[in-house]
Amino acid sequence: MSAIQKIEHVQAVSDVNEKIKVLIVDDSRLQRRILSASLSRMGYDVREAESGKDALDVCNSWPPDLVLSDWVMPGMDGLAFCEAFKKMPREGYGYFILLTSKSEKGDVAKGLEGGADDFLSKPVNSIELRARLAAGERIIQMQRTLISQAKVMSDTLNELRAVHDSLNQDLIEAKKLQQSLVREKHKEFENASLSFVLLSAGHVGGDLVGYFPISKTEVGFFAIDVSGHGVSSALMTARLAGYLTSPSPEQNIALIYGADGEICPRPPSEVVADLNRIVLEEMETDHYFTVILTIANMKTGLTTLCQAGHPHPLVRRANGAIEQTGTGGLPVGLFEDVGFEEFQIQLNPGDQLVLASDGFTECPDASDVMLGEEGFERLVRSLNGSKGPQFLETLVWMLSEYADEAGFPDDVSAVLYEQKPI
């Protein structure tokens, strides 16, 4: 049942099942009996009190919706009772009608200041009485409806809050699982090392970085950025991780068995072409992704890359020189029968290769100016002598400074491959 349906249901039940409770207060027993009989015939739930003090006792145990009270009574008069009645804590509105023979404007003003909602002249005319009661009943029913709606809305808000808390907890767990896809944040090899950083703009994101071992001299690594944000993008990264992170050719489409049974890398361009086919033919999704897939010979420093829509790889040479190169290419999952190109970069001892997502280059500052490729180069150039995880942690910190602590609007991820000095 929707919130609106609940409100209508509660209102209908309220209208049908709840009688208006009316308290008659008058020191004249005859006047009370006449009014009580008349109101009972009209369908009201009626009780009586002969003084203001007795009326307060009744109100404490049986809060009336509407009060008909004589003004002139011994002890606590009707006006004093009205003031006390209006101060009593109650859930709904209490409508108060003063019965009086007073007609001066000053008396009327005094009664209104005391909290009275309406007046009836004595002796009471039955037609006028019915009209005054109807006016009061409309206000009471409106108040009941508002209270019912407020309760339903409060209950609905509590339900939504519980659902939100549950979803939030699920997303926290999902973020942990996504982070676990990056099995190691740093990996040392004999002649090289790999470091990774992955920060989601929300609970979960569409970026993925990782590697897969091939042999003692070769390693594969990649950087992926799935379009969009949130759960659907994260689910796609999880599926892509299943295609690329295993060290076994049976589970990793980037690997194959050679003629003598050894594990060998497939050409990165063929792997990306296969991923393009899989996305278009096997995945029912509107998402696409950019990627750089790299096979590195850790002994010779020769790296073979396939770039499909991802930002250009950046090389920081041992002497501090910065190079950005690449073929660009189209993202994966947009068009059938697309060719993907390979290119090679020769890394020498002490060189660093950075594969960064556009979360770096497209990060805006406080004036909404993007960092850009030149700005990214400046950040990397300033990291003279920094290596491994410290390099990436400092890079992210500097990006945060550029963003002026406003947070990253997109996922931020990067791979750092370093050819160790001799």
pLDDT tens digits, one per residue of 252-277: 999 999 988 899 999 999 999 999 99
For residue 304, the Cα-to-chain-centroid distance in whole angstroms is 41
102: helix, strand or coil:
coil
- pLDDT greater than 60 at residue 171: no
- pLDDT greater than 90 at residue 236: no
Query: What residue type is assigned to position 326 of the chain?
Result: G
Tell me the pLDDT band of 161, cut-offs 50, 70 and 90: confident
CB 78 within 8 A of CB 51: no
If you average pLDDT over residues 201-210, what whole number do you get? 78
- pLDDT greater than 90 at residue 366: no
Q: Which of 127-136, 158-167, 250-259, 331-340 has the lowest mean pLDDT?
A: 158-167
Q: What is the DSSP string of 253-286?
A: TTEEE-TTS-EEEPPHHHHHHHHHHHHHHH---S
* b/e burial code for range 89-108 (CB count within 10 A of at least 16 → b): eeeebbbbbbbbeeeeeebe
If you average pLDDT over residues 310-332, what whole number do you get? 94
pLDDT of residue 351: 96
Tell me the pLDDT band of 303, cut-offs 50, 70 and 90: very high
Tell me the pLDDT band of 7, cut-offs 50, 70 and 90: very low
Please give the residue that has the higher pLDDT: either 230 or 337: 337
pLDDT of residue 164: 72
Tell me the pLDDT band of 349, cut-offs 50, 70 and 90: very high
- pLDDT greater than 80 at residue 167: no
In three-state form (DSSP H/G/I as H, E/B as E, the rest C), the secondary structure along 103-169 is CCHHHHHHHHHCCCCEEEECCCCHHHHHHHHHHHHHHHHHHHHHHHHHHHHHHHHHHHHHHHHHHHH
pLDDT of residue 93: 87
pLDDT tens for 23-65 read 999 999 999 999 999 999 999 999 999 999 999 999 999 999 9
Angle at 184 between CA 183 and CA 187, to 5 degrees: 140
Tell me the pLDDT band of 172, cut-offs 50, 70 and 90: low
Closest CA to 94 of 148, 127, 56: 56
- pLDDT greater than 80 at residue 352: yes
Q: To which residue do tokens 């005859």 refer?
A: 30
pLDDT of residue 16: 42
Please give the residue that has the higher pLDDT: either 385 or 58: 58
- pLDDT greater than 50 at residue 13: no
pLDDT tens for 103-118 read 666 777 888 888 899 9
- pLDDT greater than 90 at residue 376: yes
pLDDT, the chain, mean: 87
What percent of the chain shows pLDDT beyond 70? 90
pLDDT of residue 233: 81
Full set of structural domains in the chain with CATH: 3-152 (3.40.50.2300), 181-419 (3.60.40.10)
Please give the residue that has the higher pLDDT: either 218 or 140: 218
For residue 405, the Cα-to-chain-centroid distance in whole angstroms is 20
Tell me the pLDDT band of 417, cut-offs 50, 70 and 90: very high
pLDDT of residue 334: 92
Tell me the pLDDT band of 162, cut-offs 50, 70 and 90: confident
If you average pLDDT over residues 206-214, what whole number do you get? 91
